[in-house]
Chains A and B, each alone.
Chain A
């Protein structure tokens, strides 16, 4: 009796579980519309920078269980498929030369932009804290534009990329030592919203 009862029951249980699971999955599928991008805040409201296009280009490739990450504390992540590609390029002091070690990074972003002409990014240039604010704004701009140039040489179109600068206004590392300064001399590649 046990054997048959359990077997039957467990078969039914498994069936029930299967039904339940299917129902759950179906329910999930209908309430989270994975074919559309996740709703995003327009970053220009100054609300702190929403997570942007997390759902956008990568929805198709991440399956049905992914959860969009809306990061309000900093400019957007590029979406699951792109999140493994580094998006920061570091620079030497007083320099805006994109060093060879970042070629693979630039290449990877250029490929993504070539593959999807609707994809747009912003490159933010930054400097360390030393020096005047306006001059550093211009230096940061040179860094961003150097990355932009590298990207367009590797296949991106200029319309897909805007180079902007924060100068020394948005350091990621505090401290007045070479370690902090080196971390702040950077260009960041940010996927644009909309």
Chain B
């Protein structure tokens, strides 16, 4: 079932993915996804090898399977069966394999060099076809086509939007080189957005996904830049006296919150996204930093040590009455809010360990630790609020991980390059 409009839209989007600032290069660092954990209720799903996917160079069925498994809601079932979107699968056979859902497809090469990616999704339990799609994509967009299939399957079977076509930003450090990279949500296809001999920290996606703000030390101090992802065009937005850091976008994309020290001490300010109209919104003699807007733009959560150690607080977005939000432990930092505003992820220090926690902001219970590692950093919610990406340390390397909100299913985005840190999950709508 081809929807001509969506196929056309995909073609347009696929074209615009080719970067203007450089040659399209396959990622030098290949991420492998290692998924661990057992989820409570997982839909067993079989994704048969797409006809001709071997020839396309991308194992589409495996990309789809890894995406769905990483969500924690699906369990991939091996199925070495030759089937494509035109087949008539025997439901009884599939039920016998304990499969509840089935995906089959193909990736035939077209005469113009693109690939015609088609698939179908069946509900094995009910024995009905749920739908399918087709799109012609250039080779460079084969992985994206697979991610879109995973999104479609996820939405059809869970009722929620998938995040597999979204992107992540993160910083990679090798020796004295720092790179800001933008990759697919599964860690593949990383492209370098910024290459610097000085540190880069705190990347923050604009709400429309077209720009990234970050802190660069290229001027021998911390300064905030905004960079257009597609064109590479960048603007120095905050370079006041002292350090300028922790940029956070307002949901309307027109303003940033940031930590500036221009009046002495680290305080929070609002500024237009071009750097004009700077307004101070906190007034303490403490450290106030790491602002993050709520999705409705009405509140800002931030870190302050006005009470002694750093804790997470909340105030109206234009400043005003400050309320403390975290109470467990004496060191709580790096807040990230779920899009529905209900959950707060943050990092707590327990003894010498730094651990990822989530808490229900509606007052439901104690914060939960999500990991058994001890060097967690920089949590960031996926736009559907179902996964969190974070950095941690494993086997002496800095690595990126995703976790479900119950901490049960984790995936490691393994880097064969260098140390990776500071992940930020991008919005929908690539």
Residues of A within 8 A of B (CB): 43-44, 46, 48-49, 75, 122, 130-135, 137-139, 141-142, 144-145, 162-167, 169-170
- Residues of the A chain whose Cβ atoms lie less than 8 Å from the Cβ of B331: 131
The chain B residue with its CB closest to the CB of A144 is B242
How many angstroms between the C-alpha atoms of A139 and B331 in the bound complex?
A: 14
Residue B243 at the chain A interface, CB threshold 8 Å: yes
A-B contact pairs, 20 of them (CB 8 A): A44-B219, A46-B196, A75-B220, A131-B333, A132-B334, A133-B377, A133-B422, A134-B201, A135-B287, A135-B305, A137-B222, A137-B259, A138-B289, A141-B242, A141-B266, A142-B265, A145-B264, A163-B261, A164-B220, A170-B199
Instruction: Give chain B's interface secondary structure class.
Output: loop
Decide if A142 touches B287 in the complex (CB within 8 Å). Answer: yes
Residue B221 at the chain A interface, CB threshold 8 Å: yes
Residues of B within 8 A of A (CB): 196-199, 201-202, 217-222, 241-243, 245-246, 259, 261, 264-266, 287, 289-290, 303, 305, 310, 331, 333-334, 347, 349, 352, 354, 377-378, 422
Given the known interface contacts A138-B266, A145-B264, the answer about A169 and B334 at a Cβ–Cβ threshold of 8 Å is: no
Decide if A135 touches B290 in the complex (CB within 8 Å). Answer: yes
The 10 A-B pairs with the shortest beta carbon distances in the complex, nearest first, are: A138-B266, A164-B221, A169-B199, A138-B287, A132-B333, A46-B218, A165-B243, A44-B219, A134-B246, A134-B290
- Residues of the A chain whose Cβ atoms lie less than 8 Å from the Cβ of B196: 46
- Residues of the B chain whose Cβ atoms lie less than 8 Å from the Cβ of A170: 199
- Residues of the B chain whose Cβ atoms lie less than 8 Å from the Cβ of A43: 220
B215: min CB distance to chain A, Å: 8
Instruction: Give chain A's interface secondary structure class.
Output: mixed
How many angstroms between the C-alpha atoms of A194 and B107 in the bound complex?
A: 61
B247: min CB distance to chain A, Å: 10
Task: Specify which of B201, B242, B349, B422 lies most central, judged by the most chain A CB atoms within 10 Å of its CB.
Answer: B242
Task: Specify which of A48, A132, A142 lies most central, judged by the most chain B CB atoms within 10 Å of its CB.
Answer: A132
How many angstroms between the C-alpha atoms of A142 and B265 in the bound complex?
A: 7
- Residues of the A chain whose Cβ atoms lie less than 8 Å from the Cβ of B310: 135
A158: min CB distance to chain B, Å: 10
